[in-house]
Amino acid sequence: MKNVIPINDNWLCKSGFDNECFDPQFDFEGSYIVSVPHCGTETDGKYFDEENLTGVSTYVRRIFIPSDYNGSRIIVRFEGILSYAEVYVNGIFVTSHKGETPFEADITAPVQYDFDNRIVVKTDSGIRPDVPSFGEKGPAIRYGGIFREVSLRIESGENIKDVFVRTPAADSEIKPVEIDVELADYYPDTTVEAEFTDSSGHTVGKIAPKSVLRRTVTLKGQIEGAMLWDTDFPTLYSAKITLRRKNAECDFREVKFGFRKAEFRRGAFYLNGVPKKLIGLNRFDSFAYCGRAMPESRQREDARIIKEELGCNVVRTHSLASRDFIDECDRLGLLVIEDVSGDGYVGKTDGATRSSI
């Protein structure tokens, strides 16, 4: 089973980066305590020079790992850092990451138990030609820092890594469901199963246990009489995917999904076979003073404003939107056109069309 612990508070932040910062006695003069999400550079509410947002920052946090976790896999998950990151634990380099997408750092090896482990994260929001979406000139406003939440995950055994739910032929009377389950490793003598529930928590379908023969397992089932998801009636269902060894539950993952069919035909957009007029806007993930560093509650509130106060039924994201914002759009009935992080990066070969998405 997984134990997920948020570690968003008590980060020490300092402008710049010094290799001496790995020394526990390093003088962090000029640093300050922050909570993440955090913008690496403070901005004014109205006008500021975007070039001031380009820079390097250092984030430090101590994490006590009890000996009870010895033998487990210790993971730190970063939901987003702008736009290049290096992660160190107790002075040992663990991993680096390019771009604003979520990533994980396996810190099992350098962790010491019954000890205050020191995590150091170097962030760089400068223009880097090797970073997707930043290209050779970067987007209009870069911001920086650890701009999404961070969590510590303790994995003590067999685990589900990811789940993807598909609803082919969503407009049929008996609605099929296909679930791709990716495991962290291959676990022989285990099974994967699924249960579907509606918004009230009532069971509306199940998929019988299927033996694990490789790291990926595809489950196929159906729900009879399920309602379609629409912008006016955004009906969602939950799928609980469980990994078992005999009758013992090893791990589980819950995913919300809807039945819908979206397609562009000549002259119109069709949702579930019915033409629908799209009313929407382009949403830049940017907030006064805080840049892109907003927590879950504010991201979900933004979706509500777009849907209920502005009367939109579709939103186009500019830059990578948070998962909280996307989930809330799904819950409220907002279609989402997600941005592709490829500006100045995709199509750099000779004769190719440069991306300016």
- CATH 3.40.50 in the chain, residues? 262-337
In CATH terms, the fold of domain 262-337 is: Rossmann fold (3.40.50)
What pLDDT score was predicted for residue 53? 78
pLDDT in tens, 290-329: 888 999 999 999 999 999 999 999 999 988 899 999 999 9
What pLDDT score was predicted for residue 325? 96
- CATH 2.60.40.10 in the chain, residues? 160-257
| 160-257: in CATH 2.60.40.10 | yes
Q: What is the largest CA-CA distance in the chain?
A: 67
- Provide the terminal-to-terminal Cα distance of the chain, rounded to the nearest Å: 40
In CATH terms, the fold of domain 2-155 is: Jelly Rolls (2.60.120)
Cis amide bond preceding 341, omega within 30: no
Residue with tokens 């049929």: 172
Query: Hey, how many other C-beta atoms are within 10 angstroms of the C-beta on 155?
Result: 20
- CATH 2.60.120.260 in the chain, residues? 2-155
pLDDT one digit per residue (tens) for the chain, 357 residues: 679 999 999 999 999 999 888 888 888 888 899 999 999 877 776 777 777 777 899 999 999 999 999 999 999 999 999 889 999 999 999 999 998 899 999 999 999 999 999 999 999 988 777 776 665 655 556 788 999 999 999 998 899 999 999 998 877 788 999 999 999 999 999 999 999 999 999 999 999 999 999 999 999 999 998 999 999 999 999 999 999 998 899 999 999 999 999 999 988 999 999 999 999 999 988 888 888 899 999 999 999 999 999 999 999 998 889 999 999 999 999 999 998 776 666 655 554 444 333
**Distance (Å, rounded) from C-alpha 190 to C-alpha 211?**
6
Q: Are 9 and 37 in contact (CB under 8 A)?
A: no
User: Degrees (nearest 5) of the Cα angle 60, 62, 67?
Assistant: 150
